[in-house]
Structure 1
Amino acid sequence: MKKNLAMLSIGAVLFACQTNSESSKQEISEESLKTHIEVLASDDFQGRKPFTEGEIKTVNYLIDQFKAYGLEPGNGNSYTQDVPLVELTAIPSESMTVEGNGKKVELKVLDEFVAYTEQVVEKASIDASELVFAGYGVVAPEYNWNDYEGIDVKGKTVVVLVNDPGFASGDSTFFKGETMTYYGRWTYKYEEAARQGAAGCLIIHETVPAGYDWSVVRNSWSGASLYLDQTGGAYQPDILGWITRNAAIKIFEASDVDMKNYAVKSRSEDFNAVSLGLNVSVAVTNKIKRDQSRNVVAMITGSEKPDEYVIYSAHWDHLGIGQEIDGDSIYNGAHDNASGTATMLGIAEAMSKMDQPKRSVVFLAVTAEEQGLLGSKHYAQNPIYLPANTVANINMDGITAWGPMKDLTVVGYGQSELEDIAEEVATSQGRYIIPDPEPGKGYFFRSDHFQFAKVGIPALYASGTYEHMTKGINYVDSLNKVYSNTQYHQPKDEYNPDSWTFGGMALDGMLLMEVGLKVANSNEWPKWKAGSEFKSIREQ
């Protein structure tokens, strides 16, 4: 996947010329990074889930660190921004029943399906709701695509495929080929089903197009989940959920519809949604709890342009205490995302010892990322600093602790000029820049920078993840596979003093700090590139 270094863009050169060359000489402390992760990922912090003792300890720790660095409160006189959330603890029925054609299929909860509701009600259900296969569940006018054309699904339950029609098509011009569009995200599937008036929406899980295995679905969509507490919100289906591929096969075998044939047809523009001739029933009981979580925010005021802002972001939360696996029930979230939070603290500490930047620099540790980017979504909807005055966002989520990397992998490569600035800094470190090697997994839509992008703010999400400086590509690939298969969203995502090193984390932190300083000390505004779906939002 290595890409030859290209000539630097004119935009990057302009930024380079206007940067304070003395500003970036302060090093990021590896010892500080280690200390932050030891604390944030400790069992004492209980997996840092909102509404728990772990949140209180995490928020207090972050505030104490920002105060120790001499940073100002970022929200008036406060270091926090309240985020009103509602916690729904979903208890689905033990089975999902599918009946029709004289046949009956019983699917087992957690093993074959997960179900929940975003409605703030004590009980939600679908009872003998007609099942409709709606392909990918996509309505995309710019691609002349409408999976719901010609069918009314009001009050019915749609079954849809994960990802979008372009995935694995071999055609880079069909949607975006292997690169997932927002139409491929599970959040979009539910949003579109709601717009269509569906009573339920079930996504068929498959590991490769989803980007994660069933254990992630099982762990993430069972038990308590958080949502923004917004009264009078838009229509929501009664039941949302996932089913395994094997469960989908059982359902299609009970119908008169050939699953394999229709999965192929789903990639065709003339695809038509089809009733499966079956009805589905399942119920969910909710425990409801309302409370406030908190984003933590601090800043360094700019010396010349205090009303223009560069925002660093990282989510402080993880999954808390959950289902026990191999005798451990604390989901510590050392990599996800104590590492990104620690790196942001390292940048804040280093910048606090430098000359004051021309533009203001904001450090925003957001809550409830794991529940759907809720802290950053609330910030984007209720900004402390207006998007029109926010020059850029630099997001940190999962900074590897395996040593220094040759690469800088940019998630959402081709989106904005920030990657040109990052390429310049990477080159100065003897590194190269590459696009995300797995664009089909939709990582651009899976971390907090996406909420900034949605309101038009150019956002960078990048770190070294592909080639180790001395141990090569295969070494990193093997570690990535171990993490994905056994640690991601599991209790084994823990700090290991015998294997974690902090040189690479510090190197990435230095790079992201330098990018932020170039923007903060420049007169230029980085732009979205042609073809970005966010360009028109910024221009408006």
Structure 2
Amino acid sequence: MRHRAGLHAVLAITFGLGAQTVLAEAMAVSGAAIKAHTAFLADDLLEGREAGTRGYDIAAAYVATQFALHGLKPAGANSDFYQKVPLRRRSLQPDGVRFEMRTKSGSQLYQNGKDIAVDASAYTLDEVVEADVVFAGWGIRAPGLRHDDFAGLNVKGKAVVILEGAPANFPGALRAHYSWIQQKERMAAEAGAVALLTLKTPERERFSPWERARQARPLPAFGWTDPAQRENTSLIKATITLGPEVARSLFAQGGRNLDEIYEQSISSSPRGFDLPASIRLARRSVHEDTSSSNVIGVLPGTDARLKDEYIVVVSHLDTWVGPKTGPDTIYNGAVDNAGGIAAMLEVARVLKAGGGAKRSVLFLATAAEEKGLLGSDYFVARPLVPLDRIVGVVSVDGLMAFHDFAGIVALGAEHSTLGEVSLAAARSIGAIHEPDPIPGRGNLALSDQYPFLRVGIPVLFPNPARGSSRGGGEDVAAWDEYESHHYHQPSDDMTLPLRWDVAQRWGQYIYAVVAGAANGSRRPLWYEGDELAAVFAPTADRARRP
């Protein structure tokens, strides 16, 4: 009996330790799980995950199933995990664009996709836009920054030529905001303009090249069609990107050197002036109504006082689809953004396995991010939980798991206490914060956190930093290869040299950020004196900057 009792004790201890091991593994982010989710979502069987397609719907069903498996609940009064986003697909009819520029030298026709780049009309099927042309610098009106490119210019009923981007002396996040083309359309429309002609400065050409624009802009585009969108609908009839030769020719007609203007814009804002030209755009479009769904799951909070506050984790489910001209026509979007969704799903699983968090966490997989942040924009316009209860947003876009990163570029970190949470999370995986290496790109306005930012909610948009590795030295080869040859290409697939041990570290960081924000004794707060908060959340509570 004594031996049998001892055996029972040993077995109890052994099985107890085994159970603890299983529990510990269940509560740890798994690189293998991130790989498995990524592989399914980026499989050729989904034929890409473009908004409005069957492949997207399959991906949405997969995410909804995972939410249910992990014990998440539908948001608000929803009975399921879907929020239908009504979309309108707009495309150009064959030979549906005729663009003519008239100057003192005569009239010149330019070809769409070669000389200029314009998409289909969001408003009408058959239209003609005729307007005189005026240059308006950056095309920005920012009273809080004492900047007004429209001052002294009459742009009513005119086509306004503007530089893409924003002045380098704008604070980083506000530079991103004022660079966003939809924001520029709103400002130009308020000034009375009817069309925008955009120019690519040398800085913008580095990360948003003309070559990409001329191919992508004429492709089918989307907008969401809910009546609430009217508040965000610009009165600008057309936004047209001018190719470099067309742009230089236009300015030469007015005796201006465009390269000198580009050079001036580096240190100061060029003043506007009338150009001796007019445009005539004749455009025939096709509209097709469709829909895709945001997928939304909530892990209810455990604290009676804090459970009605929400941390949102947002990641886009769709993929970018471009020209289908080569032998591989499927845009799998493994890094951008099957991997981001995979990391989000794993965070949801681990957070639930650990018993949840004090605040509720809302996981939002968005539709049509690649079409202009449409899914997140729609959610903010039609929220399933009160917006004033959303206290912070963490955006997961991309899985840049190419090297054992030593740094994290946490966009938005300097504006709110989410930055302190992010820094603690970074340190927990042996990383540090690094500054944005490309502030001119305006990344804070280029993903799903931006619609939340515009309504005054603190946001964080982190990514691994290119370059420095925990092992020492620089490790950039695979990163640069992806950026140069695979980003927004069919080759963004599972054959890329992704490191799933690095993906595990990244997922652990995202988990630590979400758990830290959701369990903190105070909600994320904007910092005192923050220029971003002054624009978007002027009356919100503030925290002292550390």
**Is the Cα contact below 8 Å between 1:206 and 1:245 reproduced in 2?**
no
Whether 1:165 and 2:167 are equivalent positions in the alignment is yes
Partner of 1:77: 79
Could you say if the C-alpha distance between residues 194 and 261 of structure 1 is closer, same or farther in structure 2, counting changes exceeding 3 Å?
A: same
Check whether the contact 1:133–1:273 (CA below 8 A) recurs between aligned residues.
yes
- What is the CA–CA distance in structure 1 between the aligned matches of 2:519 and 2:173, rounded to whole Å? 37
CA positional deviation for 1:228: 1.8
For residues 345 and 468 of structure 2, the distance between their equivalents in structure 1, rounded to whole angstroms, comes to 24
Determine the C-alpha separation between the residues in 2 that align with 1:187 and 1:139: 13
Matched to 1:175, the amino acid is F
TM-score, normalization by structure 2: 0.87
| Cα distance, 1:426–1:267 mapped onto 2, change above 3 Å | closer
Amino acid at match of 2:364: L
Q: Please say if residues 115 and 284 of structure 1, whose CA atoms lie closer than 8 Å, have aligned partners that are also in contact.
A: no
Equivalent position to 1:87, from 82, 86, 89: 89
Out of 108-117 and 369-378, give the one that drifted further: 108-117
- C-alpha displacement at 1:324, in angstroms? 2.3
Give, in angstroms, the shift of residue 375 of structure 1: 0.7
Letter in 1 for 2:178: Y
**8 Å Cα contact 1:164/1:184 also seen in 2:** yes
Distance 1:257 1:207 in 2: 17
Partners of 2:119 and 2:221 within 8 A in 1: no
Corresponding residue number in structure 2 for 1:122? 125
Counting only pairs closer than 5 Å after superposition, residues 130-145 of structure 1 correspond to structure 2 as 130-145=132-147
User: Is structure 2 residue 165 aligned with structure 1 residue 147?
Assistant: no
Match of 2:223 among 223, 227, 240: 227
Partner in structure 2 of residue 500 of structure 1: 498
Report the secondary structure of 2:204's partner residue: helix
Native 8 Å contact 1:115 1:240 kept in 2: yes
Q: Give CA deviations for 1:125-180 in whole Å, capped at 9, x if unaligned.
A: 323x21111111111112222211222222211111111122xxxxxxx3237983
Instruction: State the partner residue of 1:184.
Output: 179
Q: How many aligned residue pairs are there?
A: 508
- Could you give the per-residue CA deviations for residues 91-120 of structure 1, whole angstroms, max 9, x where no partner exists? 464553212112343332212211135532
Q: CA offsets per residue over residues 258-297 of structure 1, 9 Å max, x none?
A: 3244445657878542221111122222111122321101
In 2, Cα distance between equivalents of 1:194 and 1:66: 42
Change (3 A) 1:470 1:306: closer
Do 1:117 and 1:124's aligned partners in 2 also have CA atoms closer than 8 Å? no
What's the counterpart of residue 37 of structure 2? 36
Aligned counterparts, 1:372-411, within 5 A: 372-411=372-411
* SS of the residue 1:96 aligns to: strand
Aligned position for 1:4: none
Q: Is the 8 A contact 2:413 2:460 kept in 1?
A: no
The 1-side partners of 2:242 and 2:482 are apart by 24
Amino acid at match of 1:192: M
Question: Aligned partner of 1:189: which letter?
Answer: K
CA contact (8 A) 1:26 1:350 kept: yes
3-state SS, counterpart of residue 189 of structure 2: helix
Q: C-alpha separation between the residues in 1 aligned to 2:181 and 2:211?
A: 16
Greater shift, 218-227 or 395-404, is seen at: 218-227
The DSSP-based 3-state class of the residue aligned with 1:435 is: coil
* Structure-2 change in CA distance of 1:271 and 1:208 (3 Å): closer
Counterpart AA for 1:314: S
Kindly state the Cα deviation for residue 124 of structure 1 after the two structures are TM-superposed: 2.7
The answer as to whether partners of 1:297 and 1:365 remain within 8 angstroms in 2 is yes
**Paired AA for residue 108 in structure 1:** Q
| Whole-angstrom CA distance in 2 between matches of 1:119 and 1:331 | 25
Q: Is the 8 A contact 1:207 1:213 kept in 2?
A: no
Which residue is 1:534 aligned to? 533
Alignment of 1:434-445 (within 5 A): 434-445=434-445
Q: What displacement does 1:219 show? A: 4.2
> Would the alpha carbon gap of residues 532 and 149 (structure 1) be closer, same or farther in structure 2, given more than 3 Å must change?
closer
Separation in structure 2 between the aligned mates of residue 441 and residue 308 of structure 1, nearest angstrom: 32
Partner of 1:8: none
Same amino acid, percent of matched pairs: 26
Q: Report deviation, 1:48.
A: 0.6
- Alpha-carbon distance, 1:348 to partner: 1.1
Give the Cα separation in 1 of the matches to 2:66 and 2:45. 18
Alpha-carbon offset, residue 413 of structure 1 = 4.1
Query: What is the identity, as a one-letter code, of the residue corresponding to 1:79?
Result: F
State the distance in 2 between where 1:102 and 1:315 align: 48
The 3-state SS of whatever aligns with 1:323 is: coil
Deviation string, structure 1 residues 28-78 (Cα, Å, up to 9, x no partner): 111111111111112221221111111211111111111222222234321
Secondary structure at the counterpart of residue 285 of structure 1: strand
Task: State the secondary structure of the residue aligned to 1:303.
Answer: coil
Give, in whole Å, the separation in 2 of the partners of 1:434 and 1:184: 22
Q: 2:521 aligns with which of 520, 523, 527?
A: 523
User: Is 1:203 aligned to 2:198, yes or no?
Assistant: yes
User: 225-234 or 47-56: which moved more?
Assistant: 225-234
Q: Aligned in 2, Cα 1:466/1:261: closer, same or farther, shift over 3 Å?
A: closer
Q: Distance in 1 between matches of 2:401 and 2:267?
A: 43
Equivalent-residue separation in structure 2 for 1:56 and 1:229 (angstroms): 19
Q: Quote the residue 1:57 is aligned against.
A: 58
Verify the 8 A CA contact 2:194 2:236 in the aligned structure 1. yes
Report the secondary structure of 2:184's partner residue: helix
Deviation at 1:207, TM superposition (A): 5.5
Q: 1:216 aligns with which of 212, 218, 221?
A: 212
Aligned pair in 2 of structure 1 residues 162, 288: CA closer, same or farther (>3 Å)? same
Alpha-carbon contact 1:302-1:361 (below 8 Å) kept: yes
Q: Which has the larger radius of gyration?
A: 2
- The 8 Å contact of residues 193 and 237 in structure 1, kept in 2 or not, is answered as yes
Residues 335 and 399, structure 2, Cα contact 8 Å, conserved in 1: yes
What does residue 112 of structure 1 align with?
115
Q: Indicate if the aligned counterparts of 1:93 and 1:109 stay in contact, CA closer than 8 A.
A: no
> What is the aligned-residue RMSD (CA, Å)?
2.5
Which residue matches 1:13?
none
Give me the whole-angstrom Cα distance separating, in 2, the residues matched to 1:71 and 1:178.
Answer: 33
Unaligned residue ranges in structure 2 (runs of 5+): 1-22, 541-546
Q: Is the 8 A contact 1:131 1:156 kept in 2?
A: yes
Aligned residue for 1:330, secondary structure, equals coil
* Equivalence for 2:105: 102
The structural deviation recorded for 1:220 is: 3.6
State the AA in 1 paired with 2:224.
L
What one-letter code is carried by the residue in structure 2 that aligns with 1:35?
Answer: A
Instruction: Note the alpha carbon deviations across 1:356-399, whole angstroms, 9 max, x for none.
Output: 32211111101111111111111111111222212211110012
Runs of at least 5 residues in structure 1 that lack an aligned partner in the other structure: 1-21, 167-173
Moved more, 148-157 or 323-332: 323-332
Trace 1:340-355 onto structure 2 (pairs within 5 A).
340-355=340-355
